[in-house]
């Protein structure tokens, strides 16, 4: 069994970030940035030892950030440069003698377990491995404010952390490189002539360098928004008529749906489901049947209104699912047209709209063709 240790370097002052508090102690999702980095390594099943390297002035901030993470080793003080902090951290692990050490920036809080796995796995083949992403932009070397030259970007990678190494190799390389300034640990091992593998990094594994990075990390951490679910149900009676309108599509039929508006049952159920996601009451509250403006009105008005209310809150409709209950007309042949119609009203892709139908096996009012029922569910993401 390989003994893996992780050193989380967090002794920097965050000069490029600015501000009073070093960036690794600023809140991300309500907790210090550094806590996320520590917690993710502490939770990894293959990492036996986790130690932070901190600035001596930050002990109280560290204690608050690490509170409750009981498996962490005592932190050790770092040095003036990142490289010094790593070396001091490595020296502190000599007695523990891990086989492998992972060096991670405390300022990269969104590290995920799969990336840690990839780095550890690559160390079976090479003495060092780092996560990296290929450079996608065209690169220019500047000459003052002018372009000096365009740099060939083939084979250029953006290095991330955690960078993994066989512990004795990295310790020896760092001791040998003391006094030089190298910006990552791969460079220290490269300087010692050893080979370092590149493994796939992750776009989310952002290093917080400036305030924009923290804002980006916050939005990545919080994800697409707060999920809100809503449900709706509606019934309309069938009566004399020659067509029914379902999901905005008029279908010839030997009866019609009776209602104050166009009696589009599934569209009403969907409108209620959407209103439910934002706790905005039901369709009757927004469009009372007593109001003559809505007599014979197309239900698209109601649905568009629910969509606009969600929009006004900065929400996003993720998907909707409708089930109609009727013996006839058959819905299957019209599903695509119905989904397209709803997509057009809600301004979302039709692929996010599911239209289903069922008979009730001739049972009940729908089975006796006295009415048509519909239920709908909607999922919306609201900003936190």
Ligand X SMILES: C[C@](O)(CO)[C@H](O)COP(=O)(O)O
User: Which positions touch ligand X (CB under 6 A)?
Assistant: 82, 105, 159-161, 183-184, 207, 209
Q: Could you tell which of ligand CTP, ligand X, none binds residue 58, using a CB distance below 5 to 8 A set by kind?
A: none
**Which residues are documented as binding site?**
234-236, 260-261, 268, 282-284, 358-361, 365, 368
For residues 267 and 275, what is the distance between their CA atoms, to the nearest angstrom?
12
Q: What is the DSSP string of 302-314?
A: HHHHHHHHHHHTT
Determine, following the binding rule CB under 6 A, whether residue 13 of this chain makes contact with ligand CTP: yes
Q: Give the tokens for residue 192.
A: 């010692």
Binding ligand CTP (rule: CB under 6 A), the pick from 4, 5, 6, 11 is: 11
Closest approach, Cβ 46 to ligand X, in A, equals 21
For residues 246 and 265, what is the distance between their CA atoms, to the nearest angstrom?
7
Determine, following the binding rule CB under 6 A, whether residue 59 of this chain makes contact with ligand CTP: no
User: Taking contact as CB under 6 A, which single stretch among the options 76-84, 192-200, 237-245, 374-382 is the one that binds ligand CTP?
Assistant: 76-84
The partner residues of 139 in beta bridges, in order of sequence, read 151
Q: Let me know if 161 is exposed, middle or buried by CB neighbors in 10 A (0-12, 13-18, 19+).
A: buried
Closest approach, Cβ 123 to ligand X, in A, equals 17
Which one, 159 or 170, has the nearer CB to ligand X? Answer: 159
Determine, following the binding rule CB under 6 A, whether residue 159 of this chain makes contact with ligand CTP: no
Q: Give the tokens for residue 374.
A: 């519909």
Closest approach, Cβ 12 to ligand X, in A, equals 7
Helix (H, G, I), strand (E, B) or coil at 131: strand
Which one, 15 or 285, has the nearer CB to ligand CTP? Answer: 15
Q: Could you tell which of ligand X, ligand CTP, none binds residue 9, using a CB distance below 5 to 8 A set by kind?
A: ligand CTP
259 and 297 in contact (C-beta within 8 Å)?
Answer: no
Phi then psi for 172, rounded to 5 degrees? Answer: -65, -40
Q: Give the tokens for residue 332.
A: 């299957």
Q: Could you tell which of ligand X, ligand CTP, none binds residue 160, using a CB distance below 5 to 8 A set by kind?
A: ligand X
Binding ligand CTP (rule: CB under 6 A), the pick from 3, 73, 81, 117 is: 81
Binding ligand CTP (rule: CB under 6 A), the pick from 106, 248, 259, 266 is: 106
Q: Give the tokens for residue 134.
A: 């290929």
The partner residues of 303 in beta bridges, in order of sequence, read none
Neighbours of 285 (CB within 10 A): 9
Question: Can you give the binding site for ligand CTP, defined by CB under 6 A?
Answer: 9-17, 24, 53, 78-82, 85, 105-107, 207, 209
């Amino acid at each position: 069994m390989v003994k893996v240790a992780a050193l989380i370097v967090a002794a920097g002052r965050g000069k490029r970030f600015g501000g009073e508090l070093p960036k690794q102690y600023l809140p991300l999702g309500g907790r210090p940035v550094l806590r996320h980095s520590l917690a993710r390594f502490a939770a990894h099943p293959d990492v036996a030892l986790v130690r932070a390297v901190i600035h001596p002035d930050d002990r109280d901030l560290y204690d608050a950030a690490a509170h409750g993470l009981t498996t962490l080793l005592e932190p050790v003080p770092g040095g003036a440069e990142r490289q010094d902090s790593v070396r001091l951290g490595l020296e502190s692990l000599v007695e523990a003698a891990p086989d492998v050490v992972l060096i991670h920036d405390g300022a990269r809080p969104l590290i995920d377990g799969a990336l840690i796995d990839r780095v550890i796995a690559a160390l079976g083949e090479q003495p060092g491995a780092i996560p990296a992403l290929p450079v996608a932009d065209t690169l220019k070397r500047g000459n003052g404010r002018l372009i000096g030259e365009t740099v060939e970007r083939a084979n250029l990678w953006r290095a991330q952390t955690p960078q993994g190494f066989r512990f004795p190799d990295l310790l020896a390389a760092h001791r040998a490189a003391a006094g030089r300034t190298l910006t990552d640990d791969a460079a220290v091992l490269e300087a010692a002539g050893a080979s370092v593998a590149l493994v796939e990094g992750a776009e989310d594994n952002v290093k917080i360098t400036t305030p924009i990075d923290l804002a980006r990390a916050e939005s990545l951490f919080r994800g697409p928004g707060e999920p809100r679910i809503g449900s709706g149900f509606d019934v309309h009676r069938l009566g004399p008529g020659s067509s029914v309108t379902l999901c905005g599509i008029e279908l010839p039929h030997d009866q019609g749906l009776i209602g104050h508006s166009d009696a589009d049952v599934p569209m009403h159920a969907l409108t209620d489901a959407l209103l439910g996601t934002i706790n905005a009451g039901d369709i009757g509250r927004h469009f009372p049947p007593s109001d003559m403006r809505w007599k014979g009105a197309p239900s698209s008005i109601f649905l568009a209104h629910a969509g606009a209310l969600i929009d006004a809150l900065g929400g996003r409709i993720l998907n909707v699912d409708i089930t109609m209950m009727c013996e006839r007309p058959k819905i299957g042949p019209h599903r695509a047209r119905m989904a397209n119609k709803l997509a057009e009203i809600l301004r979302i892709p039709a692929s996010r709209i599911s239209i289903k139908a069922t008979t009730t096996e001739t049972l009940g009012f729908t089975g006796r063709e006295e009415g048509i029922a519909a239920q709908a569910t909607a999922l919306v993401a609201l900003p936190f």
